[in-house]
């Protein structure tokens, strides 16, 4: 098994590394959700969260993961830093590096930003979402959630719905499930699907057909902030055609699980009753986030 040096893309992982990470996360799951217990893996190490885009789940769970492993954790956002004075990405990264950060968790609106930063710094970089490109720890925590429910991570049918074109979550998940031997379907309006799917996916335009007999249905947020005009006629029309509700989920396997990376637009991507219903694992994904990020940090430094 190769050792984890950084985590910029799912492409850096192989199946045995994924299983090792998820096994470690399984062991951390109780500690992750029990604030009184801490491990000393990152004692004396500094984790810097450098987030150029908004985040609730990812930033908080990296902060908690770092703290549960006894790291010193610092959060940087553009508005309160010299980024707002025009400092470049490379200069900001090198400045943080000069303060001896050990791990830099980066979120940025440009695809490739995390890799660019890794080239400038000594610290180990984790990609927490770069533009349309990748979000590897989200795919890992999704896989953790799936494995917990399905007791397997292979031979499953996973349907990913909605704005695939602008979704780094979709891209990382597709890569991961291609590697793990799951069948991946994508479905959405033509304008929100990649014109040439570079991975092994089955493309659908009809939601019910795409969901038929699926083990996992993953809805995605409409990424309005990354869209040009013409991507989407109206949210109302989108939700009528591609919103997940009871009658759509009825087409899937009876034990289907519904996932969404969050933040959800209720009534657009998923109906509220489904989001809060028994098939929804949206909050389990969030809980998994701390344990999985602890596992990634642990493997980077052990
Ligand atoms: C996702 C992201 O930022 O890519 N959110 C997350 O990390 N949970 C998805 C999104 O913003 O829609």
Q: How far apart are CA 177 and CA 172, in angstroms?
A: 9
Q: Are 80 and 159 in contact (CB under 8 A)?
A: no
Question: 206, exposed or middle or buried, with CB in 10 Å at 0-12, 13-18, 19+?
Answer: exposed
Global pTM exceeds 0.85: yes
Cβ–ligand 1 distance for 171 under 6 Å, the answer no
Query: Distance (Å, rounded) from C-alpha 298 to C-alpha 203?
Result: 37
| Measured distance CA(173)–CA(185) in Å, rounded | 11
- Of 255, 111, 269, 132, the closest CA to residue 187 belongs to 269
Ranges of the chain with pLDDT below 50:
none
Alpha carbon separation from 131 to 79, 120, 164 (Å, rounded): 19, 19, 13
Gap from CA of 262 to ligand 1 centroid (Å): 6
Would you say 69 and 42 are in contact if contact means Cβ atoms under 8 Å apart? yes
User: pLDDT, tens digit, for every residue of 245-285?
Assistant: 999 999 999 999 999 999 999 999 999 999 999 999 999 99
Checking 278-284 for CB contacts under 8 A at 24+ apart, the result is: 279/249, 281/145, 281/149, 281/257, 282/258, 284/145, 284/148, 284/149
Look at residues 26, 62, 69 and name the one whose alpha carbon lies nearest to residue 44: 69
pLDDT for res 234: 86
How far, in Å, from the CA of 38 to the mean position of ligand 1? 27
State which H helix or E strand residue 160 sits in: strand 157-161
Ligand 1 site, residue 280, Cβ cutoff 6 A? no
Atom from ligand 1 closest to the CA of residue 262: 8
Ligand 1 pocket, mutate which of 56, 129, 162, 270 (most atoms under 8 A from CB): 129
b/e for 265-295, b at 16 or more Cβ within 10 A?
bbebbbbeebbeeebbbbebbbbbbbbbbbb
pLDDT of residue 196: 80
Instruction: For ligand 1, say whether the CB of 58 is within 6 Å of any of its atoms.
Output: yes
User: Which residue has the CA at smallest separation from atom 12 of ligand 1?
Assistant: 221
Determine if ligand 1 sits within 6 Å of the CB of residue 131: no
The alpha carbon of 106 and the centre of ligand 1 are apart by a number of angstroms equal to 13
The pLDDT, as a whole number, for residue 204 is 97
Pairing of strands 46-51, 72-76: parallel
Which protein residue's CA is at the shortest distance from atom 7 of ligand 1? 58
Quote the distance between the C-alpha of residue 212 and its chain's center. Answer: 25
* Interval between CA 279 and ligand 1 midpoint (Å): 21
107 by DSSP, 3-state: which? strand
């Amino acid at each position: 098994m190769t050792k984890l040096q950084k985590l910029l893309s799912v492409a850096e992982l192989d199946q045995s590394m994924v299983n090792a990470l998820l096994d470690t996360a399984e062991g951390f799951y109780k500690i992750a959700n029990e604030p009184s217990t801490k491990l000393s893996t990152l004692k004396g190490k500094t984790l810097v969260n450098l987030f150029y885009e908004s985040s609730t789940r990812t930033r908080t769970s990296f902060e908690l993961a770092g703290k549960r492993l006894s790291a010193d954790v610092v959060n940087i956002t553009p508005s309160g830093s010299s980024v707002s004075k025009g400092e470049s990405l490379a200069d900001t990264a090198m400045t943080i590096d000069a303060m001896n950060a050990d791990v830099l968790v980066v979120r940025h609106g440009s695809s490739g930003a995390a890799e660019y930063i890794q080239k400038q710094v000594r610290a180990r970089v984790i990609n927490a979402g770069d533009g349309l490109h990748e979000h590897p720890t989200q795919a890992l925590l999704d896989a953790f959630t799936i494995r917990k429910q399905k007791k397997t991570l292979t031979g499953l049918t996973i349907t990913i719905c909605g704005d695939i074109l602008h979704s780094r979550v979709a891209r990382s998940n597709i890569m991961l499930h291609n590697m793990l031997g799951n069948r991946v379907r994508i479905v959405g309006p033509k304008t929100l699907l990649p014109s040439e799917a570079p991975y092994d996916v089955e493309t659908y335009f009809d939601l019910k057909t795409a969901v038929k007999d699926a083990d996992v249905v993953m809805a995605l947020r409409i990424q309005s902030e990354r869209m040009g005009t013409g991507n989407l006629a109206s949210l109302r029309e989108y939700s009528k055609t591609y919103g997940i509700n009871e009658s759509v989920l009825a087409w899937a396997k009876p034990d289907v699980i519904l996932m969404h990376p969050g933040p959800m637009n209720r009534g657009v991507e998923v109906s509220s009753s489904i989001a809060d219903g028994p098939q929804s694992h949206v909050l389990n994904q969030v809980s998994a986030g701390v344990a999985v990020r602890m596992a990634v940090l642990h493997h980077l430094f052990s």
